[in-house]
Amino acid sequence: MAPVVNKPNTQVMTVDVEDYFHVSAFEDNISRNQWSALELRVERNTYRLLELFEQHDAKCTFFTLGWVAERCPQLIADIVKQGHELASHGYAHQRASQMTIEQFQSDVAKSKQLLEDAAGQAIIGYRAPSFSFNDSNTWVYQVLVDLGFEYSSSTYPIEHDLYGVPQWPRFMHQRDEGIVEIPIPTIRHNDKNTGIGGGGYFRLYPYWLSKKRIEHFLQAEAQPYSFYFHPWEIDPKQPRVVGASFKSKLRHYLNLSRMEDKVVCLLKDYKWDTMKSVYLKK
């Protein structure tokens, strides 16, 4: 499928549906066998996002963990019922760069099956946890093609201590394997890419500055802008993780109390739709 931009005046809203204890920053503090014993907050937080999107006539692509779908099948059904796109974020939030081909195939296939069973429709989009596609594991694309995926949004072409492929394409492109890759947006200055797609910097910066950066991208690149965030980012009362590093705590907890208001500003200032609607003819 050749990549196309179907709605040039509409931007793309995405949510990575995971709970606070799933994040890579806390993987050394919370083991996967502890997850089921922890308070599940992702369901309530995601329903709050569905309310906000409905209030502002916005559609979103929800990149959802299979682990969440397994425990919250009604949430998955409601996401689809409200006209949003459901996509895969893998099953257990394992970075693709830390898995073998067999492990990756098993993780993604399990997630896809769980999501499709809950949604009653095919899943065509995938996003790797922590944007973990890079030069060391380009085989992931063939696995995705073999599993029936049509696009990925798994690369962030920036320098970062946890991820990033600054030398990779900045814009949507079709891979030789036959799948479309949609990178997280960046702005370019002095031959360096700076991320503007969401995350901690969106919580750190005042909204006017984030909007200025988005406007710069839209005017300079004539490409749709896509935004990503997580349900836990609108949950300032979430439990604090004991033993995490100062850097991890700073990144995770910074300005959580302000995030919902900032998201509402985005919803008011731009028109939002799904990845498959804006980037693909679907």
Asked whether residue 211 is domain-assigned, the answer is: yes
Asked whether residue 142 is domain-assigned, the answer is: yes
Asked whether residue 4 is domain-assigned, the answer is: no
The DSSP secondary-structure symbol of 229 reads: E
pLDDT of residue 1: 45
pLDDT of residue 160: 61
Q: Which of helix, strand or coil describes residue 17?
A: strand
Q: Are 200 and 169 in contact (CB under 8 A)?
A: no
DSSP string, 59-89: --EEEE-HHHHHH-HHHHHHHHHTTPEEEE-
Confidence of residue 53 (pLDDT cuts 50, 70, 90): very high
Range of the domain at 106: 11-279
* Neighbouring C-beta atoms of residue 179, cutoff 10 Å: 20
Confidence of residue 163 (pLDDT cuts 50, 70, 90): low
Asked whether residue 3 is domain-assigned, the answer is: no
pLDDT of residue 162: 64
CA distance 55 to 51: 6
Percent of the chain with pLDDT over 90: 80
Confidence of residue 3 (pLDDT cuts 50, 70, 90): low
CATH number of the domain at 253, please: 3.20.20.370
Minimum mean pLDDT among 8-17, 61-70, 178-187, 242-251: which range? 242-251
The tens digit of pLDDT for each residue in 177-214 reads 999 999 999 988 878 888 899 988 899 999 999 999 99
Nearest residue to 77 via CA among 58, 90, 92, 64: 64
The DSSP secondary-structure symbol of 122 reads: -
Asked whether residue 149 is domain-assigned, the answer is: yes
Domains of the chain: total: 1
Instruction: For the chain, give the mean pLDDT.
Output: 92
The tens digit of pLDDT for each residue in 100-156 reads 999 999 999 999 999 999 999 999 999 999 999 999 999 999 999 999 999 999 998
pLDDT of residue 181: 97
Asked whether residue 155 is domain-assigned, the answer is: yes
Asked whether residue 255 is domain-assigned, the answer is: yes
The DSSP secondary-structure symbol of 13 reads: E
- Helical pair 256-269 and 207-221, crossing angle rounded to 10 deg: 40
Torsion of CA 75, 80, 82, 84, to 10 degrees: 110
Asked whether residue 6 is domain-assigned, the answer is: no
